Structure 1
Amino acid sequence: MKINIRFIFFVALFLFALSVILGSFYTVDQGERVVLLRNGAVIGTAEPGLHWKWPVIDRSVHISIQSQKAAYARMPAYSKDQQPADLQLSVNFRVKPDEVADIYGTYGSVSNLISRVLDPAVQKATKEVFGQYNAVSVIQERQKFGADVYQNILSTVGKKLNIETVQVENIDFSDAYEQSIEQRMLAEVEVQKVRQNLEKEKVAADIKRTQAQADADAKLAQATADAKAIALKGDAEARAIQAKGAALRDNPALVQLIQAERWNGKLPSTMVPGESVPFVTIK
């Protein structure tokens, strides 16, 4: 079988031309930007969509602008009171779309930017901020500590990256210090219990005093009322006696009248010698 060299040549030429034409087009996804290079030099950037470039001499470098995460485990640091700790935190960030050309021209890639700029900034910021807190305060104010680290990192790399969040995932002090903290917390709990018991006893004593005072006040009020009632009764009886005395003085026959009104009409069955019949006066 005789091979047609001319046919093979044209087929190869066609395939080459087709690959060149197809290679002249490229697409940019929504979550990325493209740095366009011509003979290795940056000539611009491309937004999302379909684009064309010169074959062979142009090259497109895709850079993600989506959210990325850099994790840092067991980062050693010292607190203000010289307590050693291993910190674990993560940083969420995005590449600024308008900085992709400068990032590529300066660092060559986002991974180089992270290793040369972000990682040292996170290390430096974390240790500096951690050194401003005592061991106890950094635990109690963990959220504020994370916010301070965030601001420190932002001031360093904020021009190149959008720092979204800084998450302080763990603060691991030495075992000896954690044991001392646990003992201190237990002691504080015991002190708190004693205080609560004292408060309860104080409240109970106040209640007893209040009840005793209320009982005493009630008894005093009752005694006062009784005394007033007796006094009023005595005054009334005295006035009644005084009125009776005045009536008898002004009306001597009033006694005989009352006796007559109350007599039942019967004479006594026995008489004492020398006594007169009731209501009958014999002169």
Structure 2
Amino acid sequence: MNRPAAFMGKSNRFLSAGIVGVVIALLLLSIVFGSWYTVDQGERGVKLRYGAIVGIAEPGLNFKVPFVDTVEHVSVQNQTILYDRLESYSKDQQPATLRISVSYRVPEARVEELYSQYGTIEKMVDRLISRKVPDEVKNVFGRYTAISAIQDRTKLGIDVNEGLKKSVLGPVAIDSVQVEDVTFSDAYEQSIEKRMMAEVEIQTKRQNLETERINAEITVTQAKAQADSALAKAQAEAEAIRVRGVAEADAIKARGEALKQNAQLIALTQAEKWNGVLPATMVPGGAVPFLNLKANTGNE
């Protein structure tokens, strides 16, 4: 009867020792594996000891005191938040609804400040950005008329971006602001469309008038060129006639001078033109052409 009781006592002691050994082994494993942690490249680790910040962990493998230190991960990558329905009024009192996206990030050097003041990025965004965006959009959009807000949307985004950067003071960097859409009332949209169509029509008419003016100038230029050509031709012909007239007059004058100097030249010219035939009829008392017969003296 005593042997089995002693055996059972030993078995219980072995079992207790095994359980203790397992607990110790698990504890050792927990200490070993719980002392190391990793931080991704796009994050920084806020290392806490009993809730107090004791350092910022860089990307890679890091060590912490087991059961004493904890690590909170904070993203330092660029993030975007969309504000879908922001209401505002333009300079000319036109109501509008805007959709704006804001890209931001937490600077690496200000991760500790972020955690100390806000705890998480979401809380920081809610308190710093989301509260400022509607007011800044109203301030900037109110400096634009409805037409200029549509035509200069890029500049509108730049102005909102600059305004947010100046008004948002804290552990965050505003990278960009995009005005993705501006919507006015249906009635105003229709009036804008009609106005744009009227402007296009006016511009088209101006272009047509300019084309007609250019064509008219071309026609005038061509007509002037033709007139100048005709005038030049007429002047050339007149000059040619004048030159011929001068030449003929000079020739006649020279001929007259020659005849004046030599009277026999007239008879010679007449003789050269005579065909040798005497006239069939003679006028009484008339002379025979080209014949100068001397009277007989009786010496023949």
* 8 Å Cα contact 1:37/1:43 also seen in 2: yes
Alignment partner for residue 276 of structure 2, among 252, 259, 267?
267
Deviation at residue 269 of structure 1 after TM alignment: 6.9
The Cα RMSD (Å) is 2.0
* 8 Å Cα contact 1:79/1:132 also seen in 2: yes
> Equivalent residues in 2 for 1:60-209 (5 A)?
60-157=71-168, 159-209=170-220
Deviation at residue 57 of structure 1 after TM alignment: 1.6
The alpha-carbon distance between structure 1 residues 271 and 80, as it changes in their structure 2 partners (threshold 3 A), is: same
Out of 165-174 and 190-199, give the one that drifted further: 190-199
* 8 Å Cα contact 1:267/1:277 also seen in 2: no
Q: Partner of 1:228 in structure 2?
A: 239
* 8 Å Cα contact 1:65/1:94 also seen in 2: yes
* 8 Å Cα contact 2:84/2:99 also seen in 1: yes
AA of the residue aligned to 2:172: L
Q: Partner of 1:45 in structure 2?
A: 56
* 8 Å Cα contact 1:87/1:172 also seen in 2: yes
Q: Partner of 1:5 in structure 2?
A: 16
AA of the residue aligned to 1:267: G
* 8 Å Cα contact 2:165/2:174 also seen in 1: yes
Deviation at residue 72 of structure 1 after TM alignment: 1.0
| 2-structure distance, mates of 1:281, 1:134 | 120
AA of the residue aligned to 1:241: I
AA of the residue aligned to 1:127: K
Deviation at residue 84 of structure 1 after TM alignment: 0.9
* 8 Å Cα contact 2:128/2:170 also seen in 1: no
| 1-structure distance, mates of 2:130, 2:265 | 125
Q: Partner of 2:68 in structure 1?
A: 57
AA of the residue aligned to 1:168: V
Out of 120-129 and 169-178, give the one that drifted further: 120-129
| Secondary structure class of the residue paired with 1:111 | helix
Give me the identity figure in percent.
47
| 1-structure distance, mates of 2:213, 2:253 | 58
| 2-structure distance, mates of 1:46, 1:156 | 30
* 8 Å Cα contact 1:26/1:50 also seen in 2: yes
| Aligned pairs, number | 280
- Partner deviation per Cα, 1:29-65 (whole Å, 9 max, x = no partner): 2111111111011122111122111111211111111
Q: Partner of 1:276 in structure 2?
A: 288
Out of 228-237 and 182-191, give the one that drifted further: 228-237
* 8 Å Cα contact 1:149/1:166 also seen in 2: yes
| 2-structure distance, mates of 1:50, 1:133 | 52
Out of 99-108 and 194-203, give the one that drifted further: 194-203
| Secondary structure class of the residue paired with 1:120 | coil
The alpha-carbon distance between structure 1 residues 270 and 158, as it changes in their structure 2 partners (threshold 3 A), is: farther
* 8 Å Cα contact 1:33/1:47 also seen in 2: yes
* 8 Å Cα contact 2:128/2:169 also seen in 1: no
Could you list the runs of 5+ residues in structure 1 that have no partner in the other structure?
none
TM-score by length of 2: 0.87
TM-score by length of 1: 0.91
* 8 Å Cα contact 1:90/1:166 also seen in 2: yes
| 2-structure distance, mates of 1:219, 1:272 | 58
| 2-structure distance, mates of 1:192, 1:18 | 82
| 1-structure distance, mates of 2:254, 2:278 | 36
AA of the residue aligned to 1:37: L
Q: Partner of 1:215 in structure 2?
A: 226
* 8 Å Cα contact 2:88/2:141 also seen in 1: yes
AA of the residue aligned to 1:69: T
| Secondary structure class of the residue paired with 1:19 | helix
Could you list the runs of 5+ residues in structure 2 that have no partner in the other structure?
1-7, 295-300
Deviation at residue 237 of structure 1 after TM alignment: 1.2
